Structure 1
């Protein structure tokens, strides 16, 4: 599988130097485009068994509740199983959205991820998001495939 993907709504690339898949949403996406986009993220992540995903959502509006259900009620479990371990997703958000806790009520609170095969956190600074992903990778068990 190619380690890049480009469409009018999403750019995905594997950063081998960081061992991170970077997905940059280019615009607001429909539910079908979101599903397609996350599938592409998984395809790019599969070959290197990359379980650290940097998701730049600064050009998108808040999380769609239907998309959030789709992610948390099946897709992310499948992704973790295919990648051989826990998947870590760092979401980049505009500062105003992160400060407004009611702006994105579809995003689960930290305790939601306690017993899940995936974890997500939100950031406004890309450097901090990458540092979090690297920390997660360095403390997580190795991928099993």
Structure 2
């Protein structure tokens, strides 16, 4: 798996064996860099027609309400039209973030994703995240 893109804060790779994009955030970032990074990820997904994304945010360290609000109000709603189907986003987190009330409240509950052109879930183990991404469900 060779990187498609490497920035100082983000590496995007494609796993052809699993048909998924892997985005690894390399350091803490502010909102403008987060927005730029997700746009780069969308462009890579469009180029490869890939709707399965593994998002490793363990080193990003800054899940917050403003970024989450931008994701659900601006970025995620465009995925269906841009990618032609439902996109699956598996977030790989450090275990401490699953116990952090602020980070937890920034992530929508499962019912939020019903009927949306995307679905997201959080994981602490990469293999479990990949298995979820690979599930054949009516997306």
Please state whether the residue corresponding to 2:59 is helix, strand or coil: coil
Distance 1:62 1:116 in 2: 25
Residue number in structure 2 paired with 1:61: 61
Residue number in structure 1 paired with 2:118: 118
Q: State the Cα deviation string for residues 15-73 of structure 1 (Å, max 9, x = none).
A: 11111000000011110100000001111111221100000011122412111111111
For residues 92-111 of structure 1, the aligned pairs below 5 Å read 92-98=92-98, 100=99, 102-104=101-103, 105-111=105-111
Distance 2:24 2:111 in 1: 26
- Bigger mean CA offset, 123-132 vs 73-82: 73-82
Residue number in structure 2 paired with 1:52: 52
State whether structure 2 residue 66 is matched by structure 1 residue 27. Answer: no
RMSD (Å), alpha carbons: 1.4
Distance 1:62 1:122 in 2: 15
Please state whether the residue corresponding to 2:48 is helix, strand or coil: coil
Distance 1:8 1:92 in 2: 19
* Number of positions where the alignment pairs a residue of Structure 1 with one of Structure 2: 136
The normalised TM-score by structure 1 is: 0.88
Distance 1:13 1:113 in 2: 26
Distance 2:100 2:80 in 1: 28
Distance 2:62 2:31 in 1: 13
* CA shift for structure 1 position 101: 5.1
* CA shift for structure 1 position 95: 1.3
TM superposition outliers: structure 1 runs of 4+ over 3 Å: none
* CA shift for structure 1 position 82: 0.8
Distance 2:126 2:31 in 1: 25
